[in-house]
Structure formats: structure tokens, C-alpha cells
Amino acid sequence: QSVLTQPPSVSAAPGQKVTISCSGSSSNIGNNYVSWYQQLPGTAPKLLIYDNNKRPSGIPDRFSGSKSGTSATLGITGLQTGDEADYYCGTWDSSDVVFGGGTKLTVL
Amino acid sequence: EVQLVESGGGLVQPGGSLRLSCAASGFTVSSNYMSWVRQAPGKGLEWVSVIYSGGSTYYADSVKGRFTISRHNSKNTLYLQMNSLRAEDTAVYYCARVAAAPPSYFDYWGQGTLVTVSS
């Protein structure tokens, strides 16, 4: 069982918007930045959002992140079929890294 | 260009040992914080270990006492020595660079190497 809680799956139609939640506690999300990773089928994870809401170079502004208290949210607008992937939130808890269980995004 | 290339995975019997390597290019391993993250088949990401630039090391409870993270400065390579392997250690193992002093995010990941523990 993962320390951070994510919904197992979300789905939406192309062009629509979807949000993925990540819930933790005061010892992890409540006191640290959250990052988000995208894992396309058969590939390694890739950084999508860091420091709660910053996008690395090359990540389109369709992807956004936010944090409030002990929860974080990833938002994706203008959904494309290429966005179908597993999405993971991550942060630190003391000297350990903790991840969410992952959310599978299906673009219908 | 930053690159991380893992190697050393394979099939090993329960109780056996394996050493994974992660060859880095485009940056200096010893000046950075480096980590191992694994993913069991069909499962999510699980953090395994981290080594700080100063040499401090930390481990997930599930591998503490069995796995050792280290680095070879002149080879610019990160290692994970895995002993007393169990079936539940079967996973793809990724090395990843921590972008800055922890707590921070993983900005680069390798392609992964598969470890299968089975008789």
C-alpha cells in the first residue's frame, strides 16, 4: 500500500480536461514539494511537474500542478490520445521518497 | 546531454546476489544525489535507496540490510549491490538523478534493468 493515495484510474474524451489527486499527510506532502511523473507504456518515468507547479522545459502548458495542505493535484487540459499513460505523484517523508500508487489515464 | 544507462539485471535464484550498474554521462555522479527506484511487474513505483553527494545513504525498509548503494567516482557510475534476494524483489530497477539537495525531484531517469528472482 502506497504512502500517497491516488485514484487507480481516470478517463475523459479527447479535448477534455482531467484532474488527478494525490493525498498524503503532514509528514510528506504537508512539508515538502510534490512532483509528478508520466510513464508511457513500456517506458521509464519522465518528470512532468516539479516543486508543486513548475514545468520542465519541453512540457506543454496543458499540464499543471497545484498543492493545498496535504494534497496535490495534476491537471491536464486539451487531452490527446498520446497522454494515455500512468501518472505518479512523489515527495519526501523524512529521508525517504514516497510515491502514489499511480493513476492510469484513459483518453476515450 | 544527461544520460543514465543501467545494466546488470537478470535471472537470479532466491537468496542470491546481483550488482546493478548505472553509467552516467553529461554530469558528475559524485557531485549529485542519486537514487534507485524499482517497479514490480504491473505495479507502481517504489523508492529503494538514495546516496547523497556527501556519501550519506538511505534505504527503504524493505531492502535495508540487504541492499547497498555506492558509486565509483572515476567511472562516473552508480551501483546497487543486492544480496539475499527474494521473489518480491523482482522488478525493473531504474536509477534516477535527484535534481538538487533533498527533498527534491527526480529530473533524469535511466531506461531500467529487469531483475527476476526465481528458482
Question: For residue range B8-20, what is the model confidence (pLDDT) as tens digits?
Answer: 999 999 999 999 9
* pLDDT tens per residue across span B22-57: 999 999 999 999 999 999 999 999 999 999 999 999
CA distance A72 to chain B (A): 15
**In chain B, pLDDT over 90 holds for what percent of residues?**
96
The percentage of chain A sitting over the pLDDT mark of 90, rounded to a whole number, equals 95
CA distance A55 to A75: 12
User: A97: which 3 cell numbers?
Assistant: 521518497
**First CA to last CA across chain A, in angstroms?**
28
CA torsion sign, B58 to A29 to B112 to B34? Answer: negative
Which 75-114 residues of chain B touch chain A by CB within 8 A?
94, 96, 99, 102-112
* Confidence tier at A71 by pLDDT (50, 70, 90): very high
**Residue A2: which pLDDT band, with cuts at 50, 70 and 90?**
confident
Does the distance separating the beta carbons of A50 and B105 come in below 8 Å? yes
Q: State chain B's mean pLDDT as an integer.
A: 96
C-alpha dihedral (A73, A102, B70, A43), degrees to nearest 10: -110
Number of Cβ atoms within 10 Å of the Cβ of A52? 18
Closest residue by Cα to residue A92 from B48, B38, B102: B102
B4-B10-B13 Cα angle (round to 5): 140
What is the C-alpha separation between B45 and B62, in angstroms, rounded?
14
| Among candidate residues B44, B32, B28, the one with its CA nearest the CA of residue B104 | B32
